[in-house]
Structure 1
Amino acid sequence: MPKIGKSERLIFITSTLVQNPMKLFSLTFFCDKLSCAKSTLSEDIDLVSRIFEQTGQGRLETVSGAAGGVYYIPTMKKEDEIEFLNFLKNELQNSERIVSGGFVYINDIVFNPEVIKKAARIFVRLFLEKEIDYIATVEAKGIALASYVAQYFNKPLVVARNSSKFTEGSTVNISYISGTTGKIETMTMAKKAIKKGARVLFIDDFMRGGGTVRGMKDLLSEFESSLVGVGVLIATKDKKSVDVDYKSLLILEKLDAENKRITFSINPQVIS
Structure 2
Amino acid sequence: MQKIGKQERLIFITSTLVQNPMKLFSLTFFCEKLSCAKSTLSEDIDLISQIFEQTGQGRLETVSGAAGGVYYIPIMKKEEELEFLEFLKNDLQNPERIVSGGFVYINDIVFNPEIIKKAARIFVRLFLEKDIDYIATVEAKGIALASYVAQYFNKPLVVARNSSKFTEGSTVNISYISGTTGKIETMTMAKKSIKRGAKVLFIDDFMRGGGTVRGMKELLSEFESSLVGVGVLIATKDKKSVDVDYKSLLILEELDAENKKIIFSINPQVIS
TM-score (ref. length: structure 2): 1.00
Tell me the percent identity: 93
- Listed one character per residue, the Cα deviations across residues 95-126 of structure 1 (whole Å, up to 9, x for unaligned) are 00000000000000000000000000000000
Distance 1:54 1:217 in 2: 40
Distance 2:154 2:26 in 1: 17
Distance 2:238 2:218 in 1: 21
- Listed one character per residue, the Cα deviations across residues 144-185 of structure 1 (whole Å, up to 9, x for unaligned) are 000000000000000000000000000000000000000000
Report the secondary structure of 2:193's partner residue.
coil
Shift of 1:65: 0.2
Distance 1:219 1:141 in 2: 19
- Listed one character per residue, the Cα deviations across residues 215-251 of structure 1 (whole Å, up to 9, x for unaligned) are 0000000000000000000000111000000000000
Distance 2:146 2:211 in 1: 18
Report the secondary structure of 1:129's partner residue.
coil
Shift of 1:88: 0.2
Report the secondary structure of 1:242's partner residue.
coil
Shift of 1:130: 0.5
Shift of 1:142: 0.1
Shift of 1:70: 0.1
Report the secondary structure of 2:86's partner residue.
helix
Report the secondary structure of 1:130's partner residue.
coil
- Listed one character per residue, the Cα deviations across residues 31-57 of structure 1 (whole Å, up to 9, x for unaligned) are 000000000000000000000000000
Distance 2:132 2:92 in 1: 30
Report the secondary structure of 1:152's partner residue.
helix
TM-score (ref. length: structure 1): 1.00
Distance 1:252 1:50 in 2: 38
Distance 2:41 2:269 in 1: 39
- Listed one character per residue, the Cα deviations across residues 180-224 of structure 1 (whole Å, up to 9, x for unaligned) are 000000000000000000000000000000000000000000000
In structure 2, the partner of 1:80 is 80
- Listed one character per residue, the Cα deviations across residues 77-105 of structure 1 (whole Å, up to 9, x for unaligned) are 00000000000000000000000000000
Distance 1:175 1:86 in 2: 37
Aligned length in residues: 272
Report the secondary structure of 2:129's partner residue.
helix
Give unpaired runs (5+ residues) of structure 2. none
Report the secondary structure of 1:79's partner residue.
helix
Report the secondary structure of 2:181's partner residue.
coil
Report the secondary structure of 1:128's partner residue.
coil
Distance 1:91 1:196 in 2: 41
In structure 2, the partner of 1:149 is 149
Report the secondary structure of 1:203's partner residue.
strand
Distance 1:70 1:131 in 2: 19
Distance 1:91 1:5 in 2: 46
Distance 1:228 1:14 in 2: 31
